[in-house]
Amino acid sequence: MSGANILFILTGSIAGYKACEAISQLVQHGHRVRPVATASAQRFVGLATLEGLTGEPVRTDLFAPGAALEHIELTRWADLVIVCPATANTLNRLAAGLADDLPGALFLAHDRRKPFLVAPAMNPAMWVHPATVAAVKRLSDWGVEFLPVGSGRTACGEWGEGRLAEPFGIVAAIEARLARPQRRLRVLVTSGATAEPIDGVRVLTNRSTGRTGAGIAAHFFRAGHEVVLLRASNSAAPDAPCRVEEFGSFAELDAALGHLLQSEAFDVVIHAAAVGDFGIESVVVMGVEQPVNGTKLDSSALPTLRLRPQPKLVDGLRARSGNRALQIVAFKLTQGAPAAVARRAVTDLLAHAGADLVVHNDLAARTGWETFPADIYRRDGGLAAHCATRAEIGPALEVLVSAMPTPETISTPHCHAALS
């Protein structure tokens, strides 16, 4: 990526040192960074540090002599603006449309066709305060894009959400936003295994790690698409700061899918989650049948599980979405299946799910964690791409779904295109 013009606004948070690390990485990646610091930010980070990192004077004052119209010039210059770290105070001020300081004036003068990112950092109580929640909602409605906050121990010694994203994540989010795919897709990826409760502590699940889905989500995010990863709570986390939602059981995945598909306009669903085929109807202990509940079964009792088939969630995706042109990517895993059997399984899935693409892999072909070959089939059953490793699936899918609805044979450096 050639270097971009980034206007980097720091406000008064203890997390300012992380912003310095992100600025350093951005400069090393060839971007031009112009820093802006509020009076409070300067209590945490020295102007010499910011100037030394960027080679630019730090803008601090709306009324600086000789630079009175600089807020207009700066917004024209910037390809992207980020407030990082963003305090509760600044979020509330921006949401109120106040322009009596440099960040406020820059926000109102901002060309809204360009990205305006915010990376919040604050104490957990401040983050969940109704004033902050309302400010985040208002700013989001105006097109401001929020980086996810981290959770854990904050500088004030409290636990919860509100930590500034890590420097790597900040840089990745900025570069993802600067990436210009021909068509920016809204993509929902599911990943990981469903886990059906047997009792209060035990579950019936499968061995999916969620790595394929997490890798695909990270790839689409880095390529500049808008991504939500709906992942099993114990599955692999994405290596990019895309939006993440979590599920545990089949019922939770089902509800989350329903909510996301109805409330947001996705272009593509990549359904890589390993959804259990069986739910638990009831548990029989010492001849007495009981529904599953939150009580731990005594370990001396040998329960019998009564299973029931689960519906195929992939079959209902398009009907549940407001977008009738939703593209669906389904997954089929086989184990040592002869080629003809595997192809039939793919054809069946294409038919009943109404899928546009099916990614098929066979456990017997796996030779390592990442060396897990996959074939991608089109709706007409033709082979669209062969991927030798897990990492190649995301790039191949991006090429394929970006080209729809006029599918073409693809050729990427990593994937062997196939005529079909």
Ligand X SMILES: Cc1cc2nc3c(=O)[nH]c(=O)nc-3n(C[C@H](O)[C@H](O)[C@H](O)COP(=O)(O)O)c2cc1C
Which string of x and - marks every residue 118-137 that binds ligand X (by CB under 6 A)?
A: ---xx---x-----------
C-beta of 15 vs 314, nearer to ligand X: 15
Shortest distance in whole angstroms from residue 89 CB to ligand X: 4
* Beta strands, E only, 87-137: 116-120
Residue 53 in the binding site for ligand X (CB under 6 A): no
| Residue among 117 and 121 whose Cβ is closer to ligand X | 121
Active-site position among 20, 156, 242, 415: 156
Tell me the C-alpha distance between 210 and 296, whole Å: 27
CA–CA gap between residue 85 and residue 167 (Å, rounded): 11
Q: Which residues contact 67 (CB under 8 A, 6 or more apart)?
A: 59, 61
Give the integer Cα–Cα distance in Å for 29 and 184: 23
Size, binding site for ligand X by CB under 6 A: 15
Could you tell me how many residues make up the chain? 420
Interface residue with ligand X, options 6, 11, 78, 393 (CB under 6 A): 11
The C-alpha atoms of residue 343 and residue 182 are separated, in whole angstroms, by: 32
Q: How far apart are CA 379 and CA 367, in angstroms?
A: 28
Cβ proximity to ligand X: between 38 and 249 the closer is 38
CA 282 – CA 409 distance, rounded (Å): 49
**156 counts as catalytic:** yes
Q: Give the amino acid at 267.
A: D
Q: Considering the complex, what minimum distance in angstroms separates the CB of residue 24 from ligand X?
A: 20
Give the range of 36-44, 277-285, 337-345, 349-357 binding ligand X by CB under 6 A: 36-44
Task: Return the amino acid letter for 236.
Answer: A
Specify the residue, 49 or 409, whose C-beta has the smaller distance to ligand X.
Answer: 49
Q: Which residues, 69 to 108, sit near ligand X by CB under 6 A?
A: 87-90
If one asks whether residue 12 binds ligand X (CB under 6 A), the answer comes out as yes
Per-residue exposure over 338-374, b if at least 16 CB sit within 10 Å of its own CB, e if not = eeeebbebbeebbeebbbbbbbbbbeeeeeeeeebbb
Q: What is the DSSP-derived secondary structure letter of residue 57?
A: P
C-beta of 100: minimal distance to ligand X in Å? Answer: 11
Contact 236, 209 (CB under 8 A): yes
CA distance 365 to 347: 20
> Which positions from 318 through 377 interact with ligand X, judged by CB under 6 A?
none
CB-wise, 15 or 19, nearer to ligand X?
A: 15
Please choose, out of 5-13, 135-143, 348-356, 395-403, the segment that lies near ligand X by the rule CB under 6 A: 5-13
Binding status of residue 15 toward ligand X by CB under 6 A: yes
Residue closer to ligand X by CB (options 116, 372) is 116
The span of 8-16, 171-179, 318-326, 358-366 binding ligand X (CB under 6 A) equals 8-16
| Least spacing, CB of residue 309 vs ligand X, in Å | 50
Distance CA 75, CA 57 (A): 16
Residues found near ligand X in the complex (CB under 6 A): 11-15, 38, 40-41, 87-90, 121-122, 126
Query: Which positions are annotated as active-site residues?
Result: 156
